[in-house]
Amino acid sequence: MSSFKVTVAYDGTDFVGWQRQASGVSVQALIEDALEPLDGRRVTVTGAGRTDAGVHALGQVASFTLEREVDASTVLRAVNARLPPDVRILTAETVAPAFHARFDARSKTYRYRIWNVDVVSPFERRYVWHVPGALDVDAMDTAARSLEGRRDFSAFQAAENDTATTERTLFSSRVVASPPQLFYEADGDGFLRHMVRTIVGSLVEVGRGKRPPEWLREVLESRDRTRAGRTAPASGLFLLGVHYD
C-alpha cells in the first residue's frame, strides 16, 4: 500500500469545479478515473479545497492511497498520460498513510486577477475579470487589510453555504497593482464558498469610489450578504497554493 500527496494545476474554465458532481466534468473525477487503471480499483482522491466551477488552480494539493506498491514517479507519469491537457499533476511524493490534504493544511492562498484597462487581451480573457475604468488601488488595499484576523465572514458567503461555522482567519488580505492588472491576494486557514469572489466584488465598489474603504468592515460586521457587492466572476480566481507545517 502506498500513500501520496500530489500538487495539481488546472484551467478550471470547462469544469464544474474540483469536486465530483452528479453531472458535468470535475477535476477530482478526472484524477480518480486516471488512477483506476493504475490500481485496478476505484480510488478516492481528497483535495485540500473545493474550487467552484470555472475557478483555476496553480497549486491545488490532493491525497490518496493505492493498494499497489508504486513509486511517485510512476504515479506522476501514469496519471498525466490519462489526463486532458488542461489538468496536470505537477509533483507527486509518498507520504504517511495518515496524511490528509484538507485536514492537515495550515493555510491556503488565493489570488484574484483583475484586468484594468479598456481592452482585455484575448489570451487573458479566460483568466481575469475585465474591469475598465480607473480604480483607487490604495483605497482597495486599505479596505482589504481591514478584513485580516479572525472574523465571521457570513456577509461574504454564497447564499447556499451550509458550513458549520462561518468564522475564518485571514492571515493576509492585500490588493497590489501591476498594470494593467490588479491582484487581490488572500492567505487564510479556510474560505467560505464564494468568499474571495464576493470580497473582490466589494473591493471593486471601493475602487470605483462608490464606497469608502471603511464600508467593507461595516459589511463584515453586519453579517448580511445583501450588504456586500456582487460576486466577481470565477474566471479571475486561482488557488495559488496550500501550506502545511
Query: Catalytic residue positions?
Result: 52
Nearest partner of 51 among 243, 244, 242, judged by Cα: 242
CA distance 67 to 45: 13
Please give the single-letter amino acid code of residue 110. Answer: Y
State the residue for C-alpha cell 464600508.
215
Residue for grid cell 492567505: 187
Residue 226 CB partners (closer than 8 Å, separation 6+): none
Q: How far apart are CA 118 and CA 54, in angstroms?
A: 23
The C-alpha atoms of residue 152 and residue 162 are separated, in whole angstroms, by 14
Residue 163, CB half-sphere, CA atoms under 13 Å: how many? 18
The C-alpha cell at 68 is 499497489
